[in-house]
């Protein structure tokens, strides 16, 4: 396994190494170029999962208040 890290640049929509754009403009690090290329998809999946968990938490809280 390599110690290299890869990032997805939100400004240029490209995969780049550690010497790329500033941190505020990129997602990562990722372990390889292929994973970095999927950064937006990964972020969308994580956001959807977090939103789902938030809804479930809120629903459980509402159910507890009904008791």
Res. 66 pLDDT band, cuts 50 70 90? low
* Whole-model pTM over 0.85: no
pLDDT, tens digit (0-9, with 9 covering 90-100), for 13-57: 999 999 999 999 999 999 999 999 999 999 999 999 999 999 999
Does 62 have pLDDT greater than 80?
Answer: no
7 burial (CB, 10 Å; 0-12 / 13-18 / 19+) is buried
Does 67 have pLDDT greater than 80?
Answer: no
C-alpha 45/C-alpha 23 separation (Å) is 21
Q: What is the structure's pLDDT at 10?
A: 98
């Amino acid at each position: 396994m390599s110690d290299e890290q890869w990032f997805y640049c939100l400004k240029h929509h490209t995969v780049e190494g550690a010497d790329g754009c500033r941190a505020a403009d990129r997602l990562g690090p990722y372990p390889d170029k292929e994973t970095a290329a999927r950064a937006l998809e990964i972020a969308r999946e994580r956001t959807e999962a977090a939103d789902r968990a938030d809804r479930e938490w809120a629903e459980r809280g509402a159910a507890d208040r009904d008791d």
